[in-house]
Amino acid sequence: MIIAAPVRPLRVGQSLREALRIIRTELGPAQEGVAVIQQEQMIGILPMATDDVQALVPDLRRVHRQLARQGIDLAVGVSTVHPGWASVPAAYAEAGIARDSLAEEPGVVALPMLSTVDYLVLREDPTVRRLIRPELRQFVTDDLARDGAMIETMLAYVASDLNAKLAAERLHMHVNTAYYRLERIAERTGCDLRRFADVEELIFAIRLLTKPRGVS
């Protein structure tokens, strides 16, 4: 299942129907399937000879670039491979999650390209939000109300495999500034940033609370 939606209004004279015609032409008869336009998005079901849906991504990105050159910027999500028509609702949900991972930016993402954390965060589950500890919620809310510097540092710290020096380099700041911010984060959240479980909990809270509401 593929879901594609414009990330910005189409120009005068452009239409999703024309975009769909271009996609069909460029993908060729080998990828013929069922495609419809519904609620300002294109929905397609393509036959797959294997379970490797990522093999489809290069062709989709090629067509995506061609459409972008014509001023049609799409966010495209691709589900995993499902057997039979009974799986269409599940595939539709997966494609929507993959598309939402682009956060309204143009691109092509297949669900298997997402990490487990990305997938869990993108699924809308009110219970998960209620389970976030008050200290973590307050930290995220307060930092977002300022400039988000602490959150940025924390995300860089995790992306650097908990290496504060590398995180400082990525953020173009003095390493002492990074250490100071990490100490402040630990104080305000009660998390030990050397413990995987604490870091994991904090990152989940940040990702959930900074996700645009309505993304599901």
Using one digit for the tens of pLDDT, what is the confidence trace for 17-72? 888 888 888 877 656 788 889 888 999 998 888 888 888 899 899 999 999 988 89
Q: What is the pLDDT of residue 115?
A: 80
**Alpha helices for 101-159 (secondary structure H):** 116-122, 126-130, 134-145, 149-159
Contact by Cβ (8 Å): 159, 153: no
Q: What is the pLDDT of residue 30?
A: 58
Q: What is the pLDDT of residue 56?
A: 86
Q: What is the pLDDT of residue 213?
A: 45
Give the separation between CA 77 and CA 102, rounded to whole angstroms.
9
pTM of the model: 0.66
Given a cut of 70, whether residue 124 has pLDDT beyond it is no
Residues β-bridged to residue 41: 38
Rounded CA Rg of the chain? 21
